[in-house]
Amino acid sequence: MSKYVKEVNECLLKIQRGDKTQFEELYKLTANHLRSTAAMYLSNKDFIEDVLSEAYKKVYTYNESFDYDRDGFNWLCKIVQNVALSKNTAEKRAAFLEEEYRKNSELRYLRDDFADAELNSILSVLDEPDKSIAYRWFFFADTQEEIGKHYGVSKVAVCKRLKRICKKLKNYIDDE
């Protein structure tokens, strides 16, 4: 075992025995090396410090499982490697989801135009106050209480009116 590995192991052992001040010493001893390890495995170098931070959290959390007779520095490098690879996977997943969202947004926009035209023809069976209430309920997500305040009626009256509106719309759709 090299002198460097022995120093790292000593720090890990002292931390394992409860001397949390050694954690700062471990950081000073290993941070630069672990930064280069993270850089080797990361596809986006902007996340080096995030990976390092996450890796040291894992070291702190799982230090009790470290075997003093093993190479502590390699253990730390393996933790950094795993965190970096997980970060790459998360970044790929985020990029994929962002792309899918963008594609779906474009499709949703086209569908919404079609749906709006269709919906306007369906809503044309309602008189003006009912149409306005339907818009507030279905599109602006106003509560029955908010609609009632707007029209100066009770929440119960709005509820009854919405039931009638829905029944009219259902009958119209069923007839077509």
Domains with residue ranges and CATH for the chain: 3-95 (1.10.1740.10), 125-175 (1.10.10)
Q: What is the CA radius of gyration of the chain?
A: 31
Is 0.85 surpassed by the pTM of this model? no
The residues near 60 (Cβ < 8 Å, ≥ 6 apart) are 15, 23
The residues near 81 (Cβ < 8 Å, ≥ 6 apart) are 37, 41
CA distance 32 to 47: 15
pLDDT tens for the chain, residues 1 to 176: 688 888 888 888 888 888 888 889 999 999 999 999 998 988 888 889 999 999 989 988 888 888 878 888 888 999 999 999 888 887 777 777 677 666 665 555 544 555 566 667 777 788 888 888 888 887 777 888 889 998 888 989 988 998 988 888 888 878 76
CA distance 29 to 49: 16
Give me 31's structure tokens.
């941070």
The residues near 129 (Cβ < 8 Å, ≥ 6 apart) are 151
Of 59, 105, 63, which Cα lies nearest the Cα of 83? 59
Residue whose tokens read 């818009």: 135
CA distance 94 to 47: 14
CA distance 173 to 38: 60
Of 144, 150, 152, which Cα lies nearest the Cα of 165? 144
